[in-house]
Amino acid sequence: MAIERNQRLLLGVALFGLFSTNFNVSVLAIVVPRLVVDFDSQPSTVSWLVVGPTLAYAVLGPTAGKLGDLFGRRRVYLIGLAGCGVFAGLTAIAPTALSAILFRTISAVFGQSTSPTGMAIISEVFPREARVKALGYWGLVMAGGPVLGMVVGGPVIDQFGWRWLFVAQVPLTALAMILAARTLPVTRRRTGVRFDVPGTALLAGSAFSLLFAINRGPLWGWSHPIVVTLLAAGPLAAVGFVLVERRATNPLLPLRYFRMREFTIPIATQGLCQIAYQGGYVLIPLLLSQLYGYSATHISLLTIGRPVMWGLAGPLAAWLVVRAGSRRVVVAGVVLNVIACLALTLIGATTAEVAIVLLLGFAGLGVGIIVPPLMAMLTTAVGPEDLGVATATSQMMVMIGSAAGVQLMQTVQVSRLEADGLAGSYHTAFVVGAVVSALAVVWAARIVVPARGRVVQAV
């Protein structure tokens, strides 16, 4: 029982650290219009307060995970909390839009580096049979923290201003750092191992090229020379990464993992699911605004059910896996996500608000129940020395899938506006997103599950 109590304490401290770094992620979208006025800047510039951190972490996430694997996850976790708090304070006093974007991006990179290291620590401490449940609570805070941030952050912004979002983050991260320093187990620094600089640079270059091209393509045009160059550079850098890793003595990520189902299935399934999930999540507010004329507050209340259901589904996943098995749970979640995206085509000018909330909630439930078993599968596939970089690589693929889904569905919607009308153009985009995400069913069906739903390694 003492061991179980220690595990619960460790999990609680790790979850508080996660909350302290991610609670203001979603509410930052509300800040953009205010920053345009406060800094006398352009929306396209200020929007990088949201885009910059996402892009930077997708590029640098595997680096943070690997640093934790090499130099101690507890050490990197504490540095992440400290850096997040310091640069959050600088963001709160930033004098210009560019400085606010720079400080916020650095703060987010530090803060989000705690995710792969924290998840790796939990995976080491919790035995395999309890890992799905622990990671379910991790998903609850990952999704629920930003929801609580929106509920509390909106009034704070209205009453005191946007800077107080970052003022509040300073003591929260400081407290999280103190608790983590007293609670998290010390992980040894690996000796005789060098950090893979060439592999890291090529993987970062590949991720940056693809994500930046996807982000700029709709604004600059897909035939713009820079966009075309980046779209070509991304795959070339990925090929270079493979070639370098084959020869590396201490690779960033051993390529043998890509021959294992327990590694490739979580990465591919989550990335494909995000196309429909995140694409629909971005398009729905636009549809509700244009079709119904709803205010931002009204839309946020209707859409908040999706991340709430995602968070609540995390702890539910462990119960479902025990009774139905990982493969059935993951396949069901993927199918539910696809059906929910297709069901969004039912939204029209006369659709009841309750129906909209339910449709969005189903998508959150579908994605929410697949993440814990998939991440548990991933952490059992790799060696303990690679837990950090493996989980960070999975998160990077989720972000790439999210960015691709948003741009794909937005491009389809705009291209079909004249032919299909306002509602019809969105409906077509939802269908395209659902069809592409349905490919995740193929990956989920490849999960090999022995008796009682435990996942085994398949080479």
Query: Tens of pLDDT along 177-213?
Result: 999 999 988 877 766 677 888 988 898 888 888 878 8
Q: Tell me the domains of the chain and their CATH numbers.
A: 1-184 (1.20.1250.20), 197-252 (no CATH), 257-450 (1.20.1250.20)
Q: How confident is the model at residue 454 (pLDDT cuts 50, 70, 90)?
A: very low
Q: How confident is the model at residue 329 (pLDDT cuts 50, 70, 90)?
A: very high
Q: How many angstroms separate the CA atoms of 253 and 382, rounded?
A: 10
pLDDT at 29: 67
pLDDT at 151: 74
CA angle (413 as vertex; 410, 416 as ends), nearest 5: 150
Percent of the chain scoring above 90 in pLDDT:
26
Q: Does residue 328 have a pLDDT over 50? A: yes
Q: Does residue 451 have a pLDDT over 50? A: no
Q: How many angstroms separate the CA atoms of 304 and 319, rounded?
A: 24
Percent of the chain scoring above 70 in pLDDT:
94
Q: What is the pLDDT of residues 342-390, one digit of tens each?
A: 998 988 778 888 888 888 888 889 988 998 899 888 888 888 778 888 8
Six token digits for residue 303:
């859409």
How close are the terminal C-alpha atoms of the chain, in Å?
A: 36
Which residue did the predictor score with more confidence, 440 or 50? 440
Give the mean pLDDT of 260-280: 89
Based on its alpha-carbon atoms, the radius of gyration of the chain, rounded to whole angstroms, reads 21
Q: How many angstroms separate the CA atoms of 363 and 352, rounded?
A: 18
Which residue did the predictor score with more confidence, 43 or 76? 76
Q: What is the pLDDT of residues 125-135, one digit of tens each?
A: 887 767 888 88
Q: What is the pLDDT of residues 156-166, one digit of tens each?
A: 877 888 899 89
Q: How confident is the model at residue 397 (pLDDT cuts 50, 70, 90)?
A: confident
Give the mean pLDDT of 407-417: 85
Maximum CA extent, the chain: 66
Q: How confident is the model at residue 296 (pLDDT cuts 50, 70, 90)?
A: low
Closest CA to 17 of 152, 183, 163, 130: 183
DSSP assigned state of 257: G
Q: How confident is the model at residue 456 (pLDDT cuts 50, 70, 90)?
A: very low
Question: Please, what is the average pLDDT of the chain?
Answer: 84
Q: How many angstroms separate the CA atoms of 447 and 261, rounded?
A: 7
Burial class (CB in 10 A: 0-12, 13-18, 19+), 225: exposed
Q: Does residue 172 have a pLDDT over 90? A: yes
Give the mean pLDDT of 294-307: 76
pLDDT at 84: 94
Distance of CA 12 to the CA centre of its chain: 20
CA angle (286 as vertex; 418, 332 as ends), nearest 5: 100
